[in-house]
Each structure stands twice: as structure tokens, then as C-alpha cells.
Structure 1
Amino acid sequence: MAGRFEGRVAMVTGAGSGIGRATALALAREGARLLLFDRSAVGLAGTATQCPHAEAVTGDVTKAEDLEAAAAACAARFGPADLLVTAAGILGPALPPELLEEAEWNQLFDVNVKGTWLTIRAMLPQLREAGRSAIVTFASTAGLAGSATLPAYSASKGAVVMLTRSLALVHAAEGIRVNAVCPGSIETPMLEATFASAGDELAQAARQAAFRARHPMQRFGQADEVAETVLFLLSDAAAFITGVALPVDGGRLA
């Protein structure tokens, strides 16, 4: 499948680590030119060194001015982007909602929901100009089913799912497809943080075992496995697919 994205231009947020990085590397291997965006300059540099045709822009997805600057950098370097992946996101505290501070709740929705919206808003003129465009947002299985461990995170990802489906309806006539991936438990720094927040080593091991048991395949997913799903949704093979929230979860929601 090498070369599926030759001549295509993609912006990937959250490209400094985890699934965002895996997606950027997969797109680069298949010929895409990339605008990489993340708040971590170190993480971005690590990704950019592995992508032959990439521009890295450090910024915050909660700040419209940072995203507008990234959009301008993309257009100046490569021309209009026709692919967009909004992988930036945070986990938030593993606490019941009544124990969250208001600032913690706000940050979750600012990054996961507002950040997705602001990114799409900044890139939409380019996606329209390019035509035959595709957006993949990042939700979660926790956005399709409730989570007792991460209820606030679950609420934010549920909002991303509904934003994705709504935007698919809004932009279908313009030839812009909008889909979401909904990963289960994927071996990334975010999953490690989920286990670490459980407490001591015994509690961490118990949480890890509980999370693994939720997946009928009896293992956690890999970032590359989610990245391949993202590439499918971006590709012409998915030309008649829009408004989908696709679980990549080892059967967890089956």
C-alpha cells in the first residue's frame, strides 16, 4: 500500500507522541507531506526527524492563534492540506466527577473538545480548497460507553463523537468526510498514566488486569494498529464512509 498518500498534505495534531506520532510516521511512509503540531517541542522534533517531508509547529490546541499559525505554515510550505488528524488529547484525573476541580473539568473539555473544534475550524478553508478532503478525529471507546474509571474523560470523548457526526452532515456536500476513531486501551504514555494514577504497585497491577480483561482479545492494542485504521479512513478506500465512530478495541464493545 506504499504511496497511497503521494501528493497529499496532512496536518496531525498530537504528533509528538503516542498514536499521533504513529499516525504521522505511517502517513510519511506512504508519501504524505506533513504539518506536525504538538505542545511538546521535544516530542515534535523526535517525530519530525523520522518524516522526510514535514514542518513542525509547536503550539496549544486550546489557542486559536496557535492553530491559525500552524495552518498558515502548512499552506506556505505545502499548499492547502486535504487531510486532517486531530489526535491531541488528555486523559484527566481518574476521579468521580464530584471530586474533580472545576479547572480540571474545564481543561479536559478545552483540550479534547474545544481543541478538536478549533483545529478543524482553522483548517477548514484549506480542506475546502483542496477538495476530496478527509478529517479523522480522536474519540475513544469511553466516548461510546460509560467509564467508571474516567467519567469526565468519557464525557469529553462522547462530545467528540457527536461533533464528528454533526460535522459529517454539515460538510458532506462539500466533499469533506469526517470520521472518528475510538481506540480501546492502547499501549501509549496515556495508558501508562492511567495505571500510574491508581496508586501503589498493587493497585496499578489490579487496574491493568481489569483493563486487559475488558478486551476479548486479551491484550492491549498498539499505536500502529490505530494508525492503520486512521489511514484507512483518510484514504480513497473509505470514499463512501463519513460520520462513523469506529472502535479499534480488540472486541471490547462487541
Structure 2
Amino acid sequence: MIGQARVAAPRPLAVVTGAAGGIGSAVVRALADSGAIVVAGDREPPEMASELSGRVHSVALDVTSAEDVEHRVALVEDELGPITMLANVAGVLHASSPALELDDDSWAATFAVNTTGVMHVSRAVGQRMAGRGTGAIVTVGSNAGAVPRVGMAAYCASKAAAAMYTKVLGLELAAAGVRANVVSPGSTDTPMLRRMLDGAGPDALVEGTVAQHKIGIPLGRVADPEAVAQAVVFLLSDAASHITMHDLRVDGGASLAS
């Protein structure tokens, strides 16, 4: 009404898992820069830049524990308000080994974070979003979830499972007004990738490897974490209000959009 004071809409509240990692920290910063209040979760509370003070709350979060996740999500909503956005970024990549030589512990540890962790957090947050009739969820997967990679059976399988879980979640929550999408990066210049390369520079991935059936990266460069973060922010935003169950590849064309 004319003459009445306007009530400012509440700021969006986002939860980001794996916030201490290369992509996770970039997602935290991008969401904070977009105007959201961000809860940055990791096994140890991540250290965030001082300029993010007031916009980012760092918390300890173990995505492999259903009890810890439920407790933390309830605490966040009690103290900060309703969660409107969730970015599942937590992920692990163990040393590569042939599929027939995978040990049980490596398989279980990979799935505990990359797949079960996504389920734990999405379930806790998604139940609350569905009750309110609004919300957006993005799971950061990998193009390895759609394209087989030599020596990465556990990682590929875990990311494929997380992507499909997220798509089913999007289907089931669509009627409740909640969207769920996937962002699948390719090679991204993060500490995890550099550890996997064991001293070789990221540019070694650009040309591809015939013996490993990798075609390389058509755009000719490895992604920066910020490029992946911007895709996550887009799918969480109102600009993507009619997009759900989508898998957005951010890999420079490395998977040939397969």
C-alpha cells in the first residue's frame, strides 16, 4: 500500500558442505557475494576470509553421520532461520586403482561421503524445504559420473549414484516447489586434483591420454573453481526457477556432452 513502510524480504540462507575444499570455498564466496547468508560446513570448521565476516558462518559438519547432519541442520534453522538453498559439495577421491583391485574400505569411504553424505544432508534439508513449499538443492557431481575413467571405479560409481539420487529427489519434490539439480565439473584446479596428479601440472590433462581413453579438454584449459561455483549459484537462484533434475556439465567439453 502507498504510504506504508516496506518490509524487506529475508536474506536467503544457504548451506554448503565441503566448504573447506577448492570448489566448496568458491561456492561459499559466490553465494555470499550474491547476497546470501552462508553456513559453510566441513569436518573442521573452515577458515573463511575476514571480508566474509557476518555473511558466512563456519561450522563443523560430518556428512557421513546422519545424526550429526540432523542436529546441525536443526541448529542452523533455530538460530538463523529457514534454509532456502543447499549445495552438496563435499567429496573425496582416493588413490586410483583398477576396479578389480579396489579394497572394501576405499569403496565404503568413497560412497560414505560422495553418495550417502549427499543423501543425509539432502534429506534433512529437503524435508524442511518441502514443508515450506520452496527451496533449491544442487549436488556437485562429476563428469566422471557419466563417462568411465580408468582407475576411478569407486569415484565414478559414487558420483553417478549421487547424481541419480538428486534427480529422483527433484522429481519427488517438484510438486512441493523444491528444485534439485546437479553440476558436474570436469578437471578443476583444486588441491584434490593436484594431489591426484602427483606433481604434474593441471595443464597435463588438456591434451588427454589415449591409453586412459581421455580425449582431453576441447576448450584447452582446466576449470577454475570459480567457474564451477557460478554454475552452482545459477541453479540455486531464481534465474533457474524452471530448471530441475538437470545435470549441467562444466568441463570444457571434455565429456562431449555425453
TM-score for the superposition, normalised by structure 2: 0.87
Question: What amino acid does structure 1 have at the position aligned with 2:115?
Answer: V
Aligned to 1:45, what secondary structure does the other structure show? coil
* Mapped pair 1:209 → 2:213: no
Compared CA separation, residues 183 and 145, structure 1 to 2 (3 A) = same
Instruction: State how many pairs are aligned.
Output: 241
What is the match of residue 21 of structure 1? 25
Q: Offset at 1:6?
A: 6.8
2:154 matched residue in structure 1 = 152
Where does structure 2 lack aligned partners over 5 or more consecutive residues?
1-8, 209-215
1:108 to 110, 122, 134: 110
Which residue of structure 2 lines up, in the alignment, with residue 86 of structure 1? 88
Shift of 1:16: 1.2
Residues 154-233 of structure 1: pairs in structure 2 closer than 5 A: 154-196=156-198, 204=200, 209-210=204-205, 212-213=207-208, 214-233=216-235
Checking the alignment, whether the CA contact within 8 Å between 2:206 and 2:220 is kept in structure 1 is no
Matched-pair contact (CA < 8 Å) for 2:48–2:58: no
SS in 1 for 2:116: helix
More divergent stretch after superposition (56-65 vs 104-113): 56-65
Q: Distance in 2 between matches of 1:27 and 1:223?
A: 13
**Structure of larger gyration radius:** 2
- Is there any run of 5+ residues in structure 1 with no aligned partner, and where? none
Preserved CA contact (<8 Å) 1:212 1:220: no
- Which residue type is aligned with residue 106 of structure 1? A
Aligned partners of 2:243, 2:170: CA distance in 1, in Å?
10
Structure with higher helix content: 1
TM, length-normalised to structure 1: 0.89
Question: Counterpart of 1:190 in 2: which secondary structure?
Answer: helix
Residue matched to 2:13: 9
CA distance 1:238–1:168, shift in 2 (3 Å): same
Deviation at 1:29, TM superposition (A): 1.0
Q: Please give the alpha-carbon distance, in whole angstroms, between the structure 1 residues aligned to 2:173 and 2:56.
A: 27
Classify 1:51/1:233 alpha carbon distance in 2 versus 1 (closer, same or farther; 3 Å): farther
Q: 1:132 is aligned with what amino acid?
A: T
Question: RMSD of the TM alignment (CA)?
Answer: 1.9
* Secondary structure of the structure 1 residue equivalent to 2:110: helix
